[in-house]
Amino acid sequence: MTARILVVDDIPANVKLLEARLLAEYFDVLTAADGFACLDLCARTQVDLILLDIMMPGMDGFEVCERLKSNPKTMHIPVVMVTALDQPADRVRGLKAGADDFLTKPVNDLQLISRVKSLLRLKALSDELRLRAETAHTIGMEELMKAEMRNDESGNVLLVDGRGSSQERIVKALKPIAQVTAMSDPQAALFEAAETPFELVIVNSNFDDYDPLRLCSQLRSLERTRFVPVLLVTEQGADTMVVRALDLGVNDYIVRPIDPNELIARCLTQIRRKRFNDRLRSSVQQTIELAVTDALTGLNNRRYLDNHLAVLFQRAKARSRPMSLCITDIDRFKSVNDTYGHDAGDEVLKEFARRIRSTVRGADLACRYGGEEFVLVMPDTVPEMATAAAERLRAVIENEPFRLKGAGVDLHITASIGLSSTLWGAPSPEALLKDADRALYEAKRSGRNRVVAAAA
């Protein structure tokens, strides 16, 4: 795993020590002697992770972290605070400032490298999602990261704990921020996690006859739980378990005895990150939908038609099944725009699309082809059935006036329709479209408001 890591510490010996350990793992290492140099470097160059000292002159690590996390350009960079401070209050303050984790001096080599690799994996995932979402300009990154959990936005947490007494303490501690489902059977908890949209799973390692890392591994291997954050509760000094957990994809850990404030801070960090990535994934899905959907009418667009028509055509050919295609055009649509304006024209197009949807089957493909032209693809449909469907659509358009809400008038709209079929010998999807287009031209030429078949 290659990445650029920034080490920030005012003591050169500390910097050299961390730098040597990271270089041994083939990371690219940058260094800064104070918070101002850190912020300047992050503004000028790509940084994948920051190891940040707390006690520095001029600007301490807490303030540096707050500035990094409040800047849309640097808020996504994981920050690990490396410090001699080991009080729970210091960790809570750092987590509230936006830190992703803490390492206490002297730094344990295994925990350092495992934590760095774990956070870099998470960052790589978020970066990929951010890149896709930003490309489409569909979300505001700053608003996503700055959004605070409102009081009514309790998290949904699953606690897997082998002892009733510790279950009670953790549930009580998290009550202000989350609804907690507590379970003591790991396998039953795995099924529950797969069926319920939890935002965090807390796994306590206090089982007498069960390896908690097995559950962590299973949570990461299941498709439904792969992206749910996992927080491991461990004993003091359980370095080997922590390293293995981080390698398995566990997001964070907390050491017993648990400080309630630190538990809350770590849980909030994981829940917010989960919501952030969920919104990124949702945005990517919306981007995909926008790429194949006509924004005005909600029908599929020409890009989708060009791709999917070929699939439908080959399927019909392989199964020796008929397929028909209609191109419909709104008659004299230009006069609507010229007389009432383009807003009125948009109203007509949206209502026209609604009437198309009301007349087609679920298996049919309706698309806006461009301008006032629409395409309807009907799989498993012989020409006679397609002609009847086209006539129904033509009648639905003609028989009910189009109400222009903005202008307060009713318009009499008609449509011309050209029809083609694979049964008439079209050798390709492109030929099928051309046949229907020629039939549409004939319908226009011979008086409009009619259906013309290509074979006629």
Amino acid at 227: F
Q: Which three-class secondary structure state does DSSP give residue 329?
A: strand
- DSSP output for 30-80: EEESSHHHHHHHHHHS--SEEEEES--SSS-HHHHHHHHHHSTTTTTS-EE
Residue environment code for 219-232, b if the CB has 16+ CB neighbours within 10 A, otherwise e: beeeeebeebbbbb
Beta-carbon neighbour count of residue 109 at 10 Å? 13
372 belongs to the catalytic site: yes
Query: Can you name the residues that pair with 160 across neighbouring β-strands?
Result: 183, 203
Nearest one of 394, 268, 273 to 329, comparing CA atoms? 394
Burial of 432: CB neighbours in 10 Å, binned 0-12, 13-18, 19+: buried
Place of tokens 């140099």: 37
Nearest in space to 34 (alpha carbons), one of 68, 71, 64: 64
Which residue is catalytic, options 192, 351, 372, 398? 372
Write the CA distances from 275 to 69, 144, 268, 416, integer angstroms: 16, 9, 11, 49
Rg, the chain, Cα only: 31
- Label the pairing between strands 252-255 and 200-204: unpaired
| Distance (Å) of CA 191 to CA 48, 255, 298 | 35, 26, 38
Count Cβ atoms within 10 A of the Cβ of residue 334 and give its class: 0-12 exposed, 13-18 middle, 19 or more buried.
Answer: exposed
Phi, psi of 102 (to 5 degrees): -125, 145
* DSSP element (H, E) containing 428: none
Q: Give every strand in the sheet of 230-234, ordered side by side.
A: 178-183, 155-160, 200-204, 230-234, 252-255
What residues are labeled active site? 372
